[in-house]
Amino acid sequence: MTQHKDHAALAAAFNKDEPRVDWHDQTLWWVRRKRDIAASKVPDWEALRETASGIKDNVLSNLSQYLARFEQESIANGVKVHWASDATEHNEIVYSILHRHGIEKMVKSKSMLTEECHLNEFLDEKGIEVVDTDLGERVVQLAGEPPSHIVLPCIHKKKEEIGEIFHQHLGTPKGNADPKFLTHAAREHLREKFLTRRAALTGINFAVAATGEFVVCTNEGNADMGAHLADVHIACMGIEKLIPERKHLGVFLRLLTRSATGQPITTYSSHFRRPRPGQEMHVVLVDNGRSAHLGRTDFRNSLKCIRCAACFNTCPVYRRSGGHSYHTAVAGPIGSILSPNFDMKKNGDLPFASTLCGSCSNVCPVKIDIHQQLYKWRQVIVQEGYAPLAKKAAMRTMNWVLSKPGVYHTAGKTGRWFMLNVPFTVNNGLNAWYRQREMPEPPGQSFGEWYKKNKHEQQG
């Protein structure tokens, strides 16, 4: 795999177009505001988050039992259950199902798991065409890009750009960028796909251990259009998506969409329990690093995530750096604590793409301590040797100076020396500070010097 640029470099590129950054920031801030309004209308919202968090704690501590129960119930319901250790196995399972039915074209509704596994690329190489049917996902698919946001996949695209993409691929009139017109064009385009594809793949929002059913939430109805028209329905989920009983859905469905978009619930919350007569229904349970992650005490509760993206929308860094700067399937603060688990070398930059402001942890409907985990990942990444050597040397020097008051006080001219050496500019030098900011004006004396002089005089 080619070396990708890190978050800082990709974010800097995104920031070359400042009006666009403003637009991106304001659009997502608007979503955050809608979330606030929706949450404020639920009495005991904070208690509901606590309950959801508690349910997920129970899930993680009983996951093997719940998985076994879910499998047993699903099979009894007539569903075929598959287990995949990693992305490759997942992709091969999906391919083998399609291959067995001689299917070469498939519709797919939103599944971040299949993004994580790069399923589309895999199937494309096998000669299978996958059409993403979520409008936002279809836009980025036609543009040849990954989604930039897990709930709003093409939020980084302006309507004029989408109009141009549709003009090129769907033949809409050039220059038409009306969202209503474009949505209707996509509706027509995708309806033909729904009606002609024999297989549909969907994600899974929640799977109920006690009943073997799974729930898929969409606003567009694309998961249902695909699944109910197809002969073969394949539903893929990470193993952490289980919940114990159906009644627990009440908690999560109250939280999910209010946190995500500020809607009280998605238009469709579909409960799939048995295939319809004549249909084949498959569930693929995917590990891909999750079971190992479960063993990391400090990080396991990131597996509680229900993929609402509230942490994206509230994150002042995400809003101003764009989803692609995270170079992973799941961007934003939650992506920054999930991704190092998959590949610490490749994603070791992400926990540093945060000011640790803590807003993410406050909006999280399952109360994941996101910003605390960002801090802890930084320690792990450095300890495991993924920090640049120059940074290590600089940190050692800084520590040496700051541990020794004598050295600290005589290290050089007040203020100026400080700005050059500690603590914020270490390893990056002054240029990164000074390029767009003035330096503080060095005072005549430090507080320590003032204190010595004034208090000494006072007391003397």
Partner 1 sequence: MSSRDKILATVTKNQPEGRDLPALPAASAAGGDHAAVFMSTLEAIGGAVYVVSGFDRIATILKEKFPDARRIINGVTETPADIGDPHTLENVDLAILPAHFGVAENGACWITEKQMVQRALPFITQHLVLVLPKSAIVADMHAAYERIDAGDPYGFATFIAGPSKTADIEQSLVLGAHGPASLTVFLLDGQQSDAGYY
Partner 2 sequence: MRVGLFIPCYIDQLYPQVGVATLQLLEKLGCEVVYPPDQTCCGQPMANSGFEHLTGGCNELFIKNFEDFDYIVAPSGSCVLHIKEHLHGDTGIPKKIFELVEFLTDILKIEHLEATFPHKVGLHQSCHGQRGLHLAQMSELMAAPFSKLERLLSMVRGLELIGLDRVDECCGFGGTFCVAEEAVSVKMGKDRCADHIKHGAEFITASDMSCLMHLEGILRRANSNVRVKHIAEILNSNDTA
Residues of span 310-329 touching partner 2 by CB under 8 A: 314, 316-317, 320-321
Does 443 contact partner 2 by CB under 8 A? yes
Considering the complex, state which of residue 219 and residue 427 has its C-beta at the smaller distance from partner 2: 427
Residue with tokens 């990080």: 299
Q: Are 108 and 200 in contact (CB under 8 A)?
A: yes
Closest-CA residue to 114 (of 139, 133, 99): 133
Site for partner 2 in 401-430 (CB under 8 A): 401-405, 408, 414-415, 418-419, 422-429
Sign of CA dihedral 427, 430, 436, 437: positive
The binder of 404, among partner 2, partner 1, none, by C-beta within 5 to 8 A per type, is: partner 2
Q: Which of 323, 350, 324 is nearest to 337 (CA)?
A: 350
- CB nearer to partner 2: give 61 or 445: 445
Given 111, 148, 347, 354, the residue binding partner 2 (CB under 8 A)? 354
Shortest Cβ 145–partner 2 spacing (Å): 21
What does the per-residue mask of binding to partner 2 show for 14-33, with x meaning CB under 8 A?
Answer: xx--x--xx--x---x----
Q: Which does 174 bind (CB under 5 to 8 A by kind): partner 1, partner 2, none?
A: none
Residue closest to 211 by CA, chosen among 271, 167, 163, 264: 271
DSSP H helical ranges for 230-289: 249-260
Q: Is residue 264 involved in binding partner 2 (CB under 8 A)? A: no
State the number of binding residues for partner 2 (CB under 8 A). Answer: 85
Residues 275, 233: contact at Cβ < 8 Å? yes
Considering CB distances under 5 to 8 angstroms, the limit depending on partner class, which of partner 1, partner 2, none binds residue 269? Answer: partner 1
Q: Give the residue with the Cβ less far from partner 1, 112 or 353.
A: 112
Residues 42-71 that bind partner 2 (CB under 8 A): 42, 45-46
Q: How far apart are CB 339 and partner 1 at their closest, in Å?
A: 19
Q: Does 448 bind partner 2 (CB under 8 A)?
A: yes
Question: Which of 111, 354 has the CB closer to partner 1?
Answer: 111
Strand 206-208 and strand 242-243: the pairing is parallel
CA angle 431, 434, 438 (to 5 degrees): 165
| CA 338 – CA 8 distance, rounded (Å) | 18
Residue 211's closest CA among 74, 115, 90?
74
